[in-house]
Every structure is written in structure tokens, then in C-alpha cells.
Amino acid sequence: MHIRAGFDISGPVLKLVDRDLISYGVLGSVDINSAVAVAAGFRYSSFRSSSVLYDFNSRGLSITAGADYNFIKANVAKGKYYAGIGMRYGLSFYSEEAPMITYTNEWGTGETSVPAAMHTGHFLEITPGVRAEIFPGMTIGWNLYMRLLISTGAGKDLKPVWMPGYGAGTRGMATGAEYFVSISIPYKKIKVFIKPRVQQSEDEEETGNENTQTGTGNSGFNN
């Protein structure tokens, strides 16, 4: 069994594509048996968006905690390979503000703003994924994630454009992927018992054949 600590390298890579989003995440897990591990993650995110109608900023820290289940049998996985699914509960502690919001109504066009405020969001996360050891003590792997929004904590009229650790706060579900490089440290060995196949010896097979031949002889009465 192993203890693992990893860093999500997809966040810095996405920063090259989307400069409005900064996201850094770490993930740790501890095996409690050959199939189940408890896992927890921390992620810092910062997001900004600007358009003709509004400017929006949010930043914060998210925490997830749950368990992973490995479908690979222990004698094959050997603590090095993982193909399974995880389920986690997530909390997002974040601030949001809209320095400028432009609106139009029957009296004309106006401008307003929403001051910075702190909120706590809640979500569930389902994460199928795979992991493999590339060097002794080092693994790589990726997780797909499906996050289900429970609450943004900001009320129905102030849903965030982006909730750190979750995604678009205006949607009930967010999907994506994460790519982790991890350090794996063994802390306990477990014994895996493999039941041997029972094979008949040649003497047992010959004895069985003789019994079969004896039992199939002709029987009857001679006149």
C-alpha cells in the first residue's frame, strides 16, 4: 500500500491557452486496502472576464475529499497501476466582484457594480481515471471529472461566472480533465493469496479410467 502526493500540470498548461484563468492543484491519497484509497485535493484558482456588458473577477481555494476505487486486482496492480473511479465532496471558498455592469431598460442605459464578497460553494465530483508507475516511486495519470453543483452560496441572482474549483457557476454540471504527476511512497506490504488450480496426477487419472472401465462391463443371465 502507498501514500501519494501529486501536482496537476494541466493548470499551468491551460494558462498558455486561456490567460484569464489561473489554476494550481495538488492531490494526495492513502491506500487503506488493495482496492480503496482515501483522497483529498486542494486547488487555487483565479479568473477574470471582461466584455462590453460587464467585468468580472473571482479567486479562491477549493478543497475536495473522498475515496477512489481501483478495479484492477491486487496481484496485477501491485501498487503501481490504477484504473478506477473516485467520488468526492467539494467546498469552494471564494470571492467575486463585478466592477462594471452595463444594463439597458425602458429609461435608457446605465451602469452599476457588485462589490467584492466572500461565498462558500458546494459540489460533488465523480472522477474516473487511470494511473501508472513510470519510474520507481513516480507515477503519472489523468482523471476525467464530472462536477455536480449543489450551491454557489451566492444566491440565485448573483451566481458567479466562474466558481473556483468547480467551473462556470451558472451551470449545474461542469466537466473536464486533470493530469497529475505524483510521488508514491510504500508504507505497508500486504499478502495476496492466489488459490492454486487443482490438477489430477497421472496415477489418479489412470485409477479413474480403470474404475470407469470396470463399471461399464456387460451384465446379464446365461441360459
pLDDT in tens, 57-112: 999 999 999 999 999 998 888 888 999 999 999 999 999 999 988 888 888 888 88
Grid coordinates of 150: 449543489
3-class SS at 214? helix
Lowest-pLDDT range, 21-30, 76-85, 127-136, 207-216? 207-216
pTM higher than the cut 0.85 = no
What pLDDT score was predicted for residue 216? 45
Closest to 122 in 3D by CA, of 86, 85, 169, 161: 169
Confidence bin at 190 (pLDDT 50/70/90): low
Residue 145's DSSP bridge partners are 176
**CATH architecture of the domain with residue range 2-49+57-94+119-206:** Beta Barrel (2.40)
Confidence bin at 198 (pLDDT 50/70/90): low
The CA distance from 24 to 36, in Å, is: 26
What pLDDT score was predicted for residue 132? 95
The set of residues, in sequence order, having a beta carbon less than 8 Å from that of 97 and lying 6+ positions away, is 56, 57, 58, 113, 114, 115, 116, 117
**Mean pLDDT taken over the chain:** 86
Q: Map out the domains of the chain as residue ranges.
A: 2-49+57-94+119-206
What mean pLDDT do residues 51-57 have?
Answer: 87
Residue 183, pLDDT > 60, answer yes
φ/ψ of residue 19, rounded to 5: -75, -10
What pLDDT score was predicted for residue 155? 84
What pLDDT score was predicted for residue 206? 55
Scored b (16 or more CB within 10 A) or e, 119-156 reads bebebbbbbebebebeeeeebbbebebebebebbbbee
What mean pLDDT do residues 158-187 have?
Answer: 92
What pLDDT score was predicted for residue 215? 47
